[in-house]
Amino acid sequence: MKSTIFAALAALIRGATAQESIQGGAIYNVPSGSSTTITSVSGTFRVPDASVPLVGPTSGHKGIYAFGIWVGIGGWAGSGSASSCPAGSGVLRAGIDVYYDGFSNVPMTPWAWYQYGVSNEAGAFAYAGFNLEAGDLIKITVSGVSSNVTAIIENYGKVTSTAGRQPIQSAPPTFGFQGANVANTLCRTEAGWVVENHMTETNPPEPVVMANFTQVAFTELNLQTTAGAVGAKAAKLVNINLADQGGKLTDCSAPSDSEVRCRRTLQ
Ligand SMILES: *[C@@H]1O[C@H](CO)[C@@H](O)[C@H](O)[C@H]1NC(C)=O
Ligand SMILES: *[C@@H]1O[C@H](CO)[C@@H](O)[C@H](O)[C@H]1NC(C)=O
């Protein structure tokens, strides 16, 4: 997978129709007219097991199944995105992509990435040397105070308890990352915890065929703004909805201010 390219394509897609969405999860927008800005967002989730959808139009797909999970500040509006950031503004997000090989019927190794910039320039880059596998507990923290912006990913492995937990690995953005440049365009009025059918590199690009997965639960959510903390219940809930893949593919909820869950559904 050429990681640097899919994100740029996401801005140019043949696209989801107006009713369609390539994103599920929760997106918070600062109330319009307010001068409040977002200073950090974090969330923890476990790398899910991917599998073949048992039912629906994609169940017999001979190809790659995928989806991404990310936490970030900013967004690019249009093309099936749930973002309402202004055109020309940028993102800073970090996440993982999960794959399943439908040719050979085996899960593939997931990878961790960060992505930044405005839509026609942005690529996603691998966190160099960062390892992860299904079942690992991942924490992502994206922060931006004036020109100090960063996106840290941590892997806590298979731990089941928060007590005394230490990351096995922790990584900041490296290749190509210039925080001050990112800061100049960053859309600081939006943040989200998102499951996404990112776009393929085919011509024309299409949303990836979504793998089935065990539930994605974003926990320990912390969203900070210049006006204080904001809970997940203040965010707008969205779901992936793609007619070609059977319609509504996620069922996302915010059971508390610190948790957002997305189940894989068909209808
Ligand atoms: C996804 O996998 C789960 C667990 O195996 C299964 O119960 C569920 O029906 C599957 N969903 C789809 C859409 O195939
Ligand atoms: C920049 O932000 C990071 C993350 O919040 C923080 O750890 C670091 O101390 C900040 N650096 C400066 C120079 O303020």
CATH number of the domain where residue 73 is located: 2.60.120.700
Is 66 exposed, middle or buried (CB count within 10 Å of its CB: 0-12, 13-18, 19+)? buried
Question: Is the CB of 224 within 6 Å of ligand 2?
Answer: no
- Is residue 200 in contact with ligand 1, taking CB distance under 6 Å? no
Mutation pick for ligand 2 pocket among 73, 142, 150 (CB with most ligand atoms within 8 Å): 150
Helices (H), 133-260: 179-185
Instruction: Give residue 201's pLDDT.
Output: 76
| pLDDT tens-place string over residues 214-224 | 899 999 999 99
Catalytic residue (one of 20, 154, 196, 259): 196
pLDDT for position 1: 35
Q: What is the mean pLDDT of residues 108-134?
A: 91
Question: Does the annotation mark 196 as catalytic?
Answer: yes
Which of 38, 41, 148, when mutated, tests ligand 2's pocket best, judged by the most ligand atoms within 8 Å of its CB?
Answer: 148
Stretch 58-79: mean pLDDT: 94
13-39 pLDDT, tens digit per residue, is 345 665 799 999 999 999 999 999 999
pLDDT bin (cut points 50, 70, 90) of residue 8 is very low
Q: Are 225 and 264 in contact (CB under 8 A)?
A: no
- Relative to beta strand 111-118, strand 50-51 is unpaired
Neighbours of 199 (CB within 10 A): 26
Whether 143 lines ligand 2, by a CB cut-off of 6 Å, is yes
d(CA 173, CA 177): 6
pLDDT over 70 percentage in the chain = 93
pLDDT on residue 18: 59
Measured from the alpha carbon of residue 248, the closest ligand is 1
Q: Is the CB of 147 under 6 A from ligand 2?
A: no
The pLDDT assigned to 9 comes to 35
Going from the Cα of 179 to the center of ligand 2, the distance in angstroms, rounded, reads: 11
Domain span at residue 7? 3-264
When divided into structural domains, the chain yields a total of: 1
**pTM score, whole prediction:** 0.93
> What residue's CA is closest to ligand 2, atom 2?
148
